[in-house]
A and B are shown apart, each in its own frame.
Chain A
Amino acid sequence: AQRVTQPEKLLSVFKGAPVELKCNYSYSGSPELFWYVQYSRQRLQLLLRHISRESIKGFTADLNKGETSFHLKKPFAQEEDSAMYYCALRPVIGQGGKLIFGQGTELSVKP
């Protein structure tokens, strides 16, 4: 079964601390993995995708096929990073198709 798991509903850190939001997935093929973010009163937006291998707003995520994980990391959290983060899977790389979301992790960065 296709499934995305984010084990933490809430993650609270202090400004400047490292942060890691965990994401594990189950899928038999080679999916496309994403992190979406929803800031307060804003729409859901793409943060990064594993294919791009880029760093956005200081965040990175590496796809580990052996552990079926796609954890989101940032070395120094900022208050403006506070938001809801969703890990998502698209079953086939490069094709349109539905996204399968995790439950979401609320990140709270305290001053």
Chain B
Amino acid sequence: EAGVTQFPSHSVIEKGQTVTLRCDPISGHDNLYWYRRVMGKEIKFLLHFVKESKQDESGMPNNRFLAERTGGTYSTLKVQPAELEDSGVYFCASTHTPGTVNTEAFFGQGTRLTVV
């Protein structure tokens, strides 16, 4: 079974530019999550999709961040315009439908974003 895949693995952009991160969850996983780890700090929740709907976006830092999951498959996270404090590692995770036996979260390898 293919795991959670994230693209790109690294991205270096200038302040003010736009970057789009992509996450392909495990096939059949309705739940998709975005997290971020800023250097030296804990991994923080950004938002949660159930299929194509945003279930919880309480962790999104501000309106420069836009997440989509059209068709309920892969998701994109766009940062526009990027600021220096957006640098960090962005993780994506997916899980089976809540209430089933196994709700383990499977993580992607992360996208390291550096804003200069």
A-B CB contacts (within 8 Å), total count: 59
Chain A interface extent, by class: 20 to 34
Let me know if B105 and A46 touch, CB within 8 A. yes
A103 contacts B48, C-beta separation under 8 Å: no
A97 to B98, CA, bound (A): 8
B107, A44: Cβ atoms closer than 8 Å: yes
Tell me, yes or no, whether A64 is within 8 Å of chain B by CB. no
- The chain A residue sitting closest to B43, CB to CB, is A101
Q: Is A43 at the interface (CB under 8 A from chain B)?
A: yes
Max chain A C-beta neighbours (<10 A), residue from B33, B44, B97, B103: B103
**Quick check: B42 and A96 within 8 Å, CB to CB?**
no
Check: B73 CB closer than 8 A to any chain A CB.
Answer: no
Residues in B neighbouring A97, C-beta threshold 8 A: 48, 56, 98
B41 touches A96 (CB 8 A): no
A86 to chain B: which residues have CB within 8 Å? 42-43
Q: Which listed residue, A45, A94, A103, touches B103 by the CB 8 Å rule?
A: A94
B69 CB to closest chain A CB, in angstroms?
A: 15
- B104 interface residue per 8 A CB criterion: yes
A residues touching B (Cβ–Cβ < 8 Å)?
4, 36, 42-46, 49, 86, 90, 94-104
Given A42-B109, A96-B48, A99-B35, 7 more pairs with CB closer than 8 A: A43-B4, A43-B110, A44-B91, A94-B99, A97-B56, A98-B45, A101-B35
